[in-house]
Structures are given as structure tokens and as C-alpha cells.
Amino acid sequence: MLHAAPSLVASAAGDHPGFLSPSGVEIAFLLVGLATLGAAVITVTTRQLVHAALWLVVALGGLAVEYLLLTAEFIAWVQVLIYVGSIVVLLLFGLMLTRAPIGRSPDADSGNRWVALGVALASAAALVWVVVDAFRTTWIDLDGPAQGSTRVTGAFLFRNWVLPFEALSVLLLAALVGAIVLSRKRDTETGTGTGKNTGTGKDTGTDVGTTSRTGPSGAPGKGEKR
Amino acid sequence: MNDVLDVALRLAIVFVVFLVAPLLVGQTEHKVMAHMQGRLGPMYAGGFHGWAQLVADGVKFAQKEDVVPAAADRRVFQLAPAVALLPYLLVLAVIPLGPGDGAVGQLVDAGIFFVLAVMGIGVLGSLMAGWASANKFSLLGGLRTAAQLLSYELPMLLAAASVAMAAGTVSLTGILDAFAWWWLPWQIVGALVFFVAGLAELQRPPFDMPVADSEIIFGAYTEYTGLRFALFLLAEYAGIVILCALTTVLFLGGWHGPFGADGLGWLWTLLKTALLAFVVIWLRVSYPRLREDQLQKLAWTTLVPLALAQIALTGIVKVAIS
């Protein structure tokens, strides 16, 4: 849901110069946006845990298509590479390691769903507001050279936005180190198993490796599902 | 109209290659493995040295009953083979065969990223199959697949990044245009890392823990029969073709060769790809399977540092020559 919201807004902004005669790309953008939103809603409402993860793949893939339609090819492929290729695989891995029953799992609902809805709406509103405020008057010229090619994106990122980029990498490094520290501590204390499946007894290398690589984004998702 | 015809023709060619090349690799595997083990391999189907063995296998698969286990998640179970196979078809369309813009199915600006991203999707098919089968062996296979993928994707990406740095572009055709012969020794470590990590991603021996038949039957594919099983097999061999072609394009110079630069470039690409495919088969015959801890250790303590060292070397040389 959070993921779909900005894309819809961007499409609304894209329609602005001519609401009455939208181009084919704009129509496609809108349709893909609706599909993405639908997949995202199913992701958070389905009662089957693994199906939620798979619908998330659809939502993220739809988002990648939106990037493509906005001519940001590089961002689109990175989106697929990082989110679909790594984050969702990690999610599925975590689900399979802990609990992934086939069929409905009604006990997976937490009591926080209204709070979660509130937080989701608030952050969606914030994102919508920021994006609309920033890009309301920005148009992409589809006929000219691609404005989101790798070269353009790279130049933009490393000329105008180097400082935030580096700050982010420091943040990720801190998260990485933190994840390693946390997982090591747990190993030395008791080494309790995480679920019904094996995986703890095999070796600590796997555990440390997977946790550390994905600590920043993976850990919250896993905790939430449990 | 001409453009439409052009695109349709290219896609048709890509599709035919996609269907034929994996069968060629499969048949070669039959024969090469057999001869390495002092056997003859298939000799009857089709007459001449059993050339039609895989066609016969395909017919056999098509005749088998398509069984979905009662406890399985039907839709995910049935969707999984398509998710495993289709990404390779997409990847094949962007691999340049020869020089110029004409010898590639579809030009993609961020070629490396497209290829690696889409290949990553294919593994979701194995995960879906492993989970949806409602079988403990399948689930274990799916888990092993995921663990393997998580650790081997990083060195693969790093090795590919090294080439992109060397060429100053992430477009596959751009990398080939920038290629010079001395890249071969320069990027050799990256090439090895990429190839090994790619093998692991394809779950080919010696990295076939996820489908280890002596432990978990056939991992995520245990419950599959008939055509769906055949699709998984086809995905595996298509994966070999893609990996070898990619290694060729990224590290071995693709259509560059000692001679025949004009018009024969595509032959060099095919030759190098075939040679690498032979190596893949050779490894299957000659190497024992790695254990899970050895797998993880190889990835995290050998391949990742090697890939990082390769990136450092690439950066140093790049700065030195510019």
C-alpha cells in the first residue's frame, strides 16, 4: 500500500497537462498503478502468509513497470534486483524457516491492525504530499532521449546527491554491524531454535550470514509476522 | 510496419534459440557424461547416436499424468514452473551475439542489471515449488535454494560490477565494444567468481545441495510430474545457456576473436558459450557435492573477498590508465 501510493500520485501529476486526452503511456501508467495498488492491498489483507509474500512480488514488479514507463530504466531494474530478488526471497526464507502453513492462518493477525492502518495512511499521506509538492510541475519528454538512463541517473546521484548517498551507506553499514552483533550475542547465550524446522543446528555461518546481509530491511518483517 | 516485423522476427528467433539451445546442452550432457564414464549414452532414438533422445523424452513427459498433490497449494504449485522458466527467456533476448546493434534481440540500456535482476526472479519459482508442494523434502529443498541464493547473489553482483566499472557502462553491447584482449587476465578472478556463483545459483553440481537426490529426493521438484517437471528441467538447461553466454559476454569478450572479426563474430560467441557449457557438464561429472556449511563458507570467505579484491584491482587499474 505504501509502495503503491506514490506511483498513483505521480500518474495524477503526469496527467496534468492534458486530462482530456491522455496518451497511451499515461493510460498504461494508470492501469499498472491500479494493478499495483490492488496487489498491495491483497498483500496486506490476505490470510495466507506465503501468498502475501507472493503478492508483494506482484506489487513490487508493478512498481518496476511504473519506473520503466517513467523512463527510469536503471531504477526499475535495481528495484527488481533488490526487492524481488533479495528482499522477497529473504522474506520467503524467513517464513519457511519459521511458519509457512499451506492455507489460511487466522492466528497471524495482530491486534494492531487499526494502528497499522493509521500509520500506513499517515506515511502514505506524507509521501503523497512530498511527491506532489516536488514534482507537480515536472514533465517527462517521452520523445527526446531517455531522461532516466543509467548515465543520467549516475551523474545526478553522484553530482547532486553525494552527501545523502554516503550518509545512507553509513546508515546501512551501521545496521549491518548491528545485525552481526545481535545475532552473535544470541548464539553465545543459548542458541535456541527459531521454529519447528531445522536450520539452527547446521552451522552458525548460515545464520550470521543471512541475518547480517539483510538485517536492515529483513528483520522487522520477520518480527512482525511472528 | 517494418519495425513491427523486425521486432517479431527477432523475438521469434530468440524463442527458437530458447527452445533449441537447452536441448543441445542436454544432449551434449548425456553424451559427454556417458563417454567420461566409459558408456555410450543414448544410441537408439533418432538413429544416429541417439540424437533425438531429448525429443523422445519430451514426448514421454507430455504423455505423463499431471499430478497435483492433494494437500498442495494448487495455484502456486501450478504457477511455479512458469515463474522458473520465463525469466530465462527474457534474459536471452538481451544477450548480444555479434557486433553492432543488429545482433541482439532487444537492446537494453542497463543490460547487466536487467539480466541479473530477471535471473533472480527465476529462483522464486523454486521457492514457490518447494513451499506449495506440501512435502517436507520439497520445503527443505526450497530452504536450501533460498540460503544458497542469498549467499551467492552478492559475489555474482560484485563480479559483474567489476566489469561494468572496467567498461564504464552497464550496457552489454557497450561492454563488448569496450573490450580489449588484456581484460582477460585483468578480470580473470572476477570471471571465476561470476561463473562459480552462477553455477551455485543454477543449483548445478557441485552446488546441487537443494536437489541432492541422496538426501531430499529432488528437493523442490520432488512432487512434480509430466510437463511441469520438464519445464523445470528446461529451466535448468536454459540457465546453463544463459550463464555461459553471460560469462562469455562479460568476461571473455563475446564476439571478439583472434580473426574473423567481420561477419563471424557470432561464431566466436557461440563457440565460447559452448566451451563453457562443456565445463559445466565436466564439473558435474568430476566434482563431489558440497555440504551446506562448505557452500556457505565458500561464498562468504572465498568468493566475496575475491570479488571485492577484483573490484579494488579494477578501480586501481582504471584510475592508473585514465
Give per-residue pLDDT as tens, A185-195: 655 555 444 44
Please tell me which residue, A3 or B190, carries the higher pLDDT value. Answer: B190
Q: In this model, does residue A170 exceed pLDDT 90?
A: yes
Closest partner residue to A89 (CB to CB) among B118, B127, B131 is: B127
AA letter at B97? L
pTM: 0.79
Q: What is the pLDDT of residue A21?
A: 63
Cell of residue B249, nine digits: 559476454
Q: What is the pLDDT of residue A149?
A: 76
**Domain extents in chain A:** 1-147, 161-226
Give per-residue pLDDT as tens, B124-168: 888 888 888 888 888 888 888 888 888 888 898 899 989 888 888
Full DSSP string of chain A: -TTHHHHHHHHHHHTGGGSSS--HHHHHHHHHHHHHHHHHHHHHH-S-HHHHHHHHHHHHHHHHHHHHHTT-HHHHHHHIIIIIIIIHHHHHHHHHHH---SS--GGG--TTHHHHHHHHHHHHHHHHHHHHHHHTT----SSSS-TT-HHHHHHHHHHHSHHHHHHHHHHHHHHHHHHHHHHHHHHHHT---SSSSS-TTT-HHHHHHHHHHHHHHHHHHHHHH-
Please tell me which residue, A35 or A85, carries the higher pLDDT value. Answer: A35
Predicted confidence band of residue A212 (pLDDT cuts 50, 70, 90):
very low
Q: In this model, does residue A219 exceed pLDDT 50?
A: no
Of residues B192, B193, B196, the one with CA closest to residue B206: B196
B134 interfaces chain A, CB cutoff of 8 Å:
yes
Indicate yes or no: CB of A54 within 8 angstroms of CB of B151. Answer: no
Q: What is the pLDDT of residue B76?
A: 84
Q: How far apart are CA B276 and CA B245, in angstroms?
A: 8
Chain A to chain B Cβ contacts (< 8 Å): 120
The CA angle B154-B158-B162, to the nearest 5 degrees, is 170
**Residue pLDDT tens, chain B, 322 long:** 577 887 788 888 888 888 888 888 888 888 888 888 888 888 888 778 888 888 888 888 888 888 888 877 888 888 888 888 888 888 888 888 777 666 666 667 778 888 888 888 888 888 888 888 888 888 888 888 888 888 888 898 899 989 888 888 888 888 888 888 888 888 889 899 999 998 888 888 888 888 877 888 887 888 888 888 888 888 889 889 999 988 988 888 877 777 766 677 778 888 888 999 999 989 888 888 888 888 888 888 999 999 999 999 988 988 888 7
B146 interfaces chain A, CB cutoff of 8 Å:
yes
Indicate yes or no: CB of B73 within 8 angstroms of CB of A103. Answer: yes
B123 interfaces chain A, CB cutoff of 8 Å:
yes
Q: What integer is the mean pLDDT of A28-32? A: 86
B127 interfaces chain A, CB cutoff of 8 Å:
yes
Indicate yes or no: CB of B293 within 8 angstroms of CB of A206. Answer: yes
Q: In this model, does residue A204 exceed pLDDT 70?
A: no
Q: What integer is the mean pLDDT of A18-24? A: 64
Give per-residue pLDDT as tens, A109-146: 777 888 888 998 999 999 999 988 888 777 777 666 66
Here the ipTM equals 0.79
Among the CATH numbers 1.20.120.1200, 3.40.50.1100, 1.10.1130.10, 3.20.20.210, which is that of A1-147?
Answer: 1.20.120.1200
- CA distances to A25, A118, A127, A163, B255 from A66, in Å: 10, 26, 17, 27, 34
Q: Where does B110-194 show beta strands of DSSP type E?
A: none
